[in-house]
Amino acid sequence: MSILADKNTRVLIQGITGTQAAFHVKKSIQGGTKVVCGTSPRHGGETHLDVPVFNTVADAQRACKFDASVLFVPAQAVKSAVREAVEAEVPLIVSIAEGVPVHDMLEIKAMLNGSKTLMIGPNTPGLITPEEARLGIFPENIHHKGKIGILSRASTLTYEAVLETNKANLGQSTVIGLGDDMIVGTDYRELLKRFMDDDETKAVVLVGKANSCYEQMVAEYYADMPHKKPVIAFIAGEALPYGYTIGYAADIVTQGRVTVADKKKIMHDSGMVVVDSMSEVHQILTDLQL
Amino acid sequence: MNIHEYQAKKILAQYGINVPEGGIAYTPAEAKRVAQKLSSRGPWMLKAQIQAGARAEGHFLEHEAGRKGGVRKVTQIKNVSYEAAQMLNNTLVTEQTDAKGRLVSKVYVEKFETVKHLFYAGMIIDSAVSTITLLISDVINESIVRIADFQTDKILRIPLKFDAAISDAQIMKILDFLLLDEKYLQSFHDFLGKLLFTFVNLDAQMIEINPVGILPDKKLVALDAKINFDDNALFRHPDIVRMHDDYEDDARKLRAYRSGFYYHEFEEGTIGCIVNGDGLALEAMDIIKAKGYSPACALNVKGGVDKDKIADGIKLIMTNPRVEGIVINVLGGFLRCNLVADGILSASQDVGLNMPLIVRFEGTNKDMARAILEESNLQVTFAEDMNEAVDELVTQMEVNA
């Protein structure tokens, strides 16, 4: 088992005719991901990467069945692409683009609220269930099928967490980059719950960062969870000046004074194992004797 | 992106928000002409235009600028050019600038407004609940982050929707908080409604009016204005992009920005970091600090760009006079490692590499990248992880020193 996507997940690619899509989707298909069709305005009727292309998600839905969509559309087009997917009730969407306007995210969050769609990203490498499904741009050569779930708010640090689980010879059940932006489609809580419900996942590595407010939220959530699996948490950015960016300052103003040290304490008190350096993770995982 | 106060006020005026009459001046004589045009009698306000707050409490580095700050009230016309001359072409340091301060190249001259009451109004985005939050405080002329830190009950926070008007109940809550009478309901509605419209329409990340004044006729006036725009949404606002003041950014930051990268310079430090991604930048800073060193600058390289842009970014780090060693950590995904290797090679050929360079590649095309550098005759050391990379760099820097 795994969460969100496995070898049976049928995947739609929105923006399939772009160059980034061509490079990464080809790799996904070679790795076994079941890509069934794609969309691209004005390319309807063509074939790309051996799958049919439609103008819109609605057109695609009339001809194909799919359970997830990966958005390879540029940042400026993410809002309308999400709208199409939400209207088509696609259960899972993954948006890779970096640079989605934050006001677009306010609208997107309003669309997602009460919908049947779960959105991962934007500004994420996506999600990968090793040897089964790769929805995004994760480098496939570093992942190994296994027992650890990974949730990360810092895209490139996700890879570091993956390497730690490899060092412990535990591998990954599913790896999810939540996205680096101030506001992303789904925060840790819903995904952590799914990992707790997944038989194959024995522990979760959580990668947070200083300038994000989701870590406190998941700590409170984890503290109240009835059935807990171990969570090992790392927060990057202890050296970051307090209130460093506009978004960080906004979090302080709305959430109150939370330094990285405060955040670590909140997470520790919730029952998570909090590490000071990512390189401690593999030893802790080994000691858990999963 | 930030803009100057005078530009922000011009925008607010376009959205129907009341601002004092004013004009911009680049010379003392121009300041006097603007003042005379605004009003036959004083007082006037002279405000140094730099993109940093706390100007009134700031000080000038130069002796001839006098001991006053960057916001000055002037009562007599003969003193306008004198005070303007003190500020212009001198360097203002405030708690929001670094110790080097900012050169004041223009002053904004305004008619002084007599007001009955002052308060703070701001709008930001609350990422925890994905809404816009209106901030109201009766503490003025103080940074909102500091108030939030130490007097958090002095801030009223009102969640607003991007697609709905502010309700009467919300306005009443604000009036109660500020201990103001119900008779101000209409003018608060008008002012805050227009402010929200501005915020949403222009993709603002933060708007601060510190302070708002209440005029004798009950109308509200924005006595100061600060707007920060979401860089990611500037493609929708070419008119705002044109307001960008290149002199406010240093040349390196500007060059990185034009390549589409994020470049940050720290006040101290000797290590240049090149990474791809926010998280790696944070990790690099943490590890460097933990080893007793400081980063001098960090370049965040994005995916989806060509190797020339990457080379240009790497040159920024190589030519930074404070940098004594460089660490590069790239985890290839969208960004392919081989492009970064090509960039390192081409940058070194252009400007020469005369300091330790440690590289760690992981992910997409890492072997190809490593081969590119190994085949060149560049002095590059490879590391398996970031801890090792920084350890190696520090060792080599100590040998060099």
Inter-chain CB pairs, A–B, below 8 Å: 176
> Average pLDDT for residues A127-145, to the nearest whole number?
92
Looking at the complex, does the CB of residue B228 fall below 8 Å from at least one CB of chain A? yes
Inter-chain touch A183–B125, beta carbons under 8 Å: yes
Inter-chain touch B287–A277, beta carbons under 8 Å: yes
Whether residues A149 and A251 fall in one domain: yes
Measured between beta carbons, the chain B residues lying within 8 angstroms of A280 are none
Whether residues A243 and A280 fall in one domain: yes
Taking the CA of residue B261 and the nearest CA in chain A, the distance in Å comes to 12
Inter-chain touch A180–B278, beta carbons under 8 Å: yes
Spatial distance between the Cα atoms of B300 and B287, rounded to a whole number of angstroms? 17
Helix B337-351, helix B366-375: angle, nearest 10 = 20
| pTM of the predicted structure, to 2 decimals | 0.91
Tokens of B130: 């994905």
Please say whether the beta carbons of B275 and B263 come within 8 A: no
Q: Which of residues 250-269 of B touch A (CB under 8 A)?
A: none
In this predicted model, what pLDDT tens digit does every residue of B349-383 receive, in sequence order? 998 888 999 999 988 889 999 999 999 989 999 99
Whether residues A58 and A148 fall in one domain: no
Inter-chain touch B124–A110, beta carbons under 8 Å: no
Give me the percent of chain B exceeding a pLDDT of 70.
99
3-state secondary structure of A237: coil
Looking at the complex, does the CB of residue A266 fall below 8 Å from at least one CB of chain B? no
Domain count, chain A: 2
Whether residues A171 and A259 fall in one domain: yes
The residue that leads in pLDDT, B334 or B380, is B380
Spatial distance between the Cα atoms of B243 and B232, rounded to a whole number of angstroms? 16
Residue A113's pLDDT is 95
Partner residue opposite B279 with nearest CB, options A109, A142, A155:
A155
- The enclosing domain of A105 has a CATH number of 3.40.50.720
Positive or negative: CA dihedral B39, B41, B43, B44? positive
| A72, A90, A122 - which closes a domain | A122
In this predicted model, what pLDDT tens digit does every residue of A259-278 receive, in sequence order? 889 999 999 999 999 999 99
Compare all CA atoms of chain A with the CA of B160 and give the residue at the minimum distance: A106
Locate tokens 């560049």: which residue? B378
Q: Looking at the DSSP assignment, which residues form a beta bridge with residue A235?
A: A208
pLDDT exceeds 80 at position B258 = no
Whether residues A273 and A155 fall in one domain: yes
Tokens of B282: 């944070």
Residue A234 main-chain phi, psi, to 5 deg: -130, 135
A42, burial (CB in 10 Å: exposed 0-12, middle 13-18, buried 19+): exposed
> Average pLDDT for residues B93-99, to the nearest whole number?
88
pLDDT exceeds 90 at position A91 = yes
Taking the CA of residue A243 and the nearest CA in chain B, the distance in Å comes to 8
Looking at the complex, does the CB of residue A30 fall below 8 Å from at least one CB of chain B? no
Please say whether the beta carbons of A213 and A262 come within 8 A: no
> Average pLDDT for residues A231-246, to the nearest whole number?
85
| Residue A111, H or E segment | helix A102-112
Strand stretches in A130-228, DSSP E: 133-136, 145-152, 172-177, 203-209
Locate tokens 């160059």: which residue? A19
Which CATH superfamily includes the segment(s) B21-111?
Answer: ATP-grasp fold, A domain (3.30.1490.20)
Measured between beta carbons, the chain B residues lying within 8 angstroms of A138 are 333
Reported ipTM: 0.93
Residue B56 main-chain phi, psi, to 5 deg: -60, -35
| A60, A90, A122 - which closes a domain | A122
Whether residues A95 and A180 fall in one domain: no
Pairing relationship of beta strands A10-14 and B117-126 according to DSSP bridges? unpaired
Confidence of residue A34 (pLDDT cuts 50, 70, 90): very high
Residue B45 main-chain phi, psi, to 5 deg: -110, 135
pLDDT exceeds 90 at position B203 = yes
CB atoms closer than 10 angstroms to residue B377: 8
Residue B331's pLDDT is 86
Partner residue opposite B286 with nearest CB, options A102, A109, A239:
A239
Inter-chain touch A250–B289, beta carbons under 8 Å: no
Residue B106's pLDDT is 95
CB atoms closer than 10 angstroms to residue A215: 24
> Average pLDDT for residues B305-315, to the nearest whole number?
85
Give me the percent of chain B exceeding a pLDDT of 90.
71
Spatial distance between the Cα atoms of B72 and B65, rounded to a whole number of angstroms? 12
- DSSP conformation class of A190: H
Whether residues A209 and A110 fall in one domain: no
Inter-chain touch B145–A182, beta carbons under 8 Å: no
CA-based R_g, chain B, Å: 25
Give me the percent of chain A exceeding a pLDDT of 70.
100
In this predicted model, what pLDDT tens digit does every residue of B163-180 receive, in sequence order? 999 999 999 999 999 999
Which CATH superfamily includes the segment(s) B117-239?
Answer: ATP-grasp fold, B domain (3.30.470.20)
Confidence of residue B289 (pLDDT cuts 50, 70, 90): very high
Looking at the complex, does the CB of residue B130 fall below 8 Å from at least one CB of chain A? yes
pLDDT exceeds 90 at position B53 = no
Inter-chain touch B148–A253, beta carbons under 8 Å: yes
Compare all CA atoms of chain B with the CA of A113 and give the residue at the minimum distance: B130
pLDDT exceeds 90 at position A141 = no
Confidence of residue A178 (pLDDT cuts 50, 70, 90): very high
- The enclosing domain of A199 has a CATH number of 3.40.50.261
Residue B396's pLDDT is 94
Length of chain B: 401
- DSSP conformation class of B2: B
Q: Which of residues 194-253 of A touch B (CB under 8 A)?
A: 207, 209-210, 212-214, 217, 236-240, 243, 246-247, 249-253
Please say whether the beta carbons of A121 and A179 come within 8 A: yes
Inter-chain touch B230–A239, beta carbons under 8 Å: no
Which residue ranges make up each domain of chain B?
A: 21-111, 117-239, 250-400
Identify from A104, A205, A234, A254 which residue to disrupt to test chain B contact, counting B C-beta atoms within 10 A and taking the largest count: A254
Whether residues A184 and A280 fall in one domain: yes
Tell whether A135 is covered by a domain. no
The residue that leads in pLDDT, B268 or A189, is A189
Question: From residue A266, how far is each of A189, A249, A263, B158 by CA, in Å?
Answer: 15, 19, 5, 26
Tell whether A134 is covered by a domain. no
Q: Which of residues 16-35 of B touch A (CB under 8 A)?
A: none
CA-based R_g, chain A, Å: 19
DSSP for B5-57, written as a single string = HHHHHHHHHHTT-----EEEESSHHHHHHHHHHH-SS--EEEEE--S-S--TT
Partner residue opposite B285 with nearest CB, options A158, A239, A247:
A239
Inter-chain touch B233–A139, beta carbons under 8 Å: no
Measured between beta carbons, the chain A residues lying within 8 angstroms of B149 are 252, 257
Taking the CA of residue B396 and the nearest CA in chain A, the distance in Å comes to 22
Q: Could you give the strand order of the β-sheet that contains B59-60, starting from the edge strand earlier in sequence? A: B59-60, B91-93, B102-103
pLDDT exceeds 80 at position A140 = no
Pairing relationship of beta strands B295-300 and B271-275 according to DSSP bridges? parallel
- DSSP conformation class of B270: S
Q: Structural domain of residue A252, as residue ranges?
A: 144-290
DSSP for B122-160, written as a single string = EEEEETTTTEEEEEEES--SS-HHHHHHH-GGGEEEEEE
Whether residues A187 and A93 fall in one domain: no
- Between 3.40.50.1220, 1.10.10.60, 3.40.50.261, 3.40.50.720, what CATH number should domain B250-400 receive? 3.40.50.261
Tokens of B132: 């816009």
**Which of A42-56, B104-118, B245-259, B322-336 shows the lowest per-residue confidence on average (mean pLDDT)?**
B245-259
End-to-end CA distance of chain A: 16
Whether residues A161 and A281 fall in one domain: yes
Please say whether the beta carbons of A95 and A111 come within 8 A: no
Looking at the complex, does the CB of residue B153 fall below 8 Å from at least one CB of chain A? no
Inter-chain touch A254–B331, beta carbons under 8 Å: no
Whether residues A86 and A152 fall in one domain: no
3-state secondary structure of B113: coil
> Average pLDDT for residues A200-226, to the nearest whole number?
94
Spatial distance between the Cα atoms of B16 and B20, rounded to a whole number of angstroms? 12
Residue A177's pLDDT is 96
